[in-house]
């Protein structure tokens, strides 16, 4: 049983929590005061663009991340560290640099809806891979060896044992990656553009409307983005707690 925190740790905790609440409070209060002043048609377009592109990109990220993580954990044990670093290195690269690279590699789809999918896939996948790697690494090897003795191959192990046991960790990683893709601005602005009704996601709308001096739409777009991020992170936290209570992932 932990003792009650001391005064110093308590002060740091209270300061930081107040700091976070102030940030959220400013966004929510400003958005609430501007609800009746915005063009909801513009906000709705950005919301639909974000939702549709995110649904596709995160689905692709999930499939790729599961196979990459599974391959690293169960087939490359001696070089796992290097492969994990290589597969997740883009998470450490500034988004604007990713945007420039994508502009060179996929110039033909720049400033189009598919560009959003490419950007979101690129920024989300490293976070999903890292989370799934942690989940898969906690699996009981004895269970896998028993299944292999019964004739299960690599794909059957993944589909019938690894995923059913570790699905909470996989979904938690997916939600975390989705939150990251949802908030992406730098790479999206460079590669996807800031085109209203076409490539202007909610997070980019905050930047775009702010630079245009249209703070009404900017704060409402920020509010919806924050609300979506809170829902994703909240769901991830709930799944993580459930996994710990059940002794899983």
Structure tokens at 167: 């699905």
In this prediction, residue 76 carries a pLDDT of 76
In this prediction, residue 23 carries a pLDDT of 94
Q: Is the pLDDT of residue 249 over 50?
A: no
- What share of the chain in percent tops pLDDT 70? 91
Q: Where are the domains of the chain?
A: 11-245
- Residue with the bigger pLDDT between 97 and 7: it is 97
Count of Cβ atoms closer than 10 Å to residue 182 Cβ: 22
Q: Is the pLDDT of residue 242 over 50?
A: yes
Q: Is the pLDDT of residue 45 over 50?
A: yes
Quick: pLDDT tens for 92-142: 999 999 999 999 999 999 999 999 999 999 999 999 999 999 998 888 777
Mean pLDDT of 28-38: 91
pTM (2 d.p.)? 0.89
Mean pLDDT of 206-221: 93
Residues 104-117, buried b or exposed e (16+ Cβ, 10 A)? eeeeebbbbebbbb
Quick: pLDDT tens for 186-203: 999 999 999 999 999 999
Give the separation between CA 124 and CA 131, rounded to whole angstroms: 11
Give the separation between CA 110 and CA 204, rounded to whole angstroms: 16
CATH number assigned to the domain with residue range 11-245, chosen from the 4 options 1.10.287.610, 1.20.120.430, 3.90.1520.10, 1.10.3720.10? 1.10.3720.10
Rounded to the nearest integer, the mean pLDDT of the chain is: 89
């Amino acid at each position: 049983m932990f003792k009650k925190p001391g005064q110093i740790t308590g002060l740091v905790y209270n300061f930081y929590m107040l700091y976070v609440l102030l940030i959220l409070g400013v966004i929510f209060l400003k958005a609430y005061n501007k609800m009746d002043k915005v063009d909801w048609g513009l906000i709705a377009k950005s919301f639909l663009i974000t939702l549709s592109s995110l649904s596709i990109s995160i689905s692709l990220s999930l499939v790729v991340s599961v196979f990459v993580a599974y391959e690293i954990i169960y087939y490359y044990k001696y070089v796992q560290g290097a492969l994990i670093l290589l597969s997740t290195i883009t998470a450490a690269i500034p988004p604007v640099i990713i945007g420039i690279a994508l502009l060179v590699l996929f110039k033909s789809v720049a400033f189009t809806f598919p560009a959003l999918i490419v950007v979101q896939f690129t920024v989300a996948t490293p976070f999903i891979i890292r989370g799934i790697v942690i989940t898969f690494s906690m699996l009981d090897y004895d269970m896998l060896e028993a299944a292999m003795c019964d004739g299960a191959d690599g794909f059957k192990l993944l589909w019938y044992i690894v995923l059913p046991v570790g699905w909470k960790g996989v979904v938690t990683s997916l939600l975390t990656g989705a939150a990251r893709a949802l908030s992406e601005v730098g790479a999206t602005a460079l590669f996807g553009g800031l085109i209203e009704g076409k490539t202007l996601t909610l997070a980019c709308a905050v930047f775009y409307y702010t630079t245009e001096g249209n703070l009404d739409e900017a704060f409402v777009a920020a509010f919806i983005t924050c609300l979506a991020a809170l829902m994703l992170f909240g769901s991830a936290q709930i799944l993580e707690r459930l996994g710990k209570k059940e002794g899983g992932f």
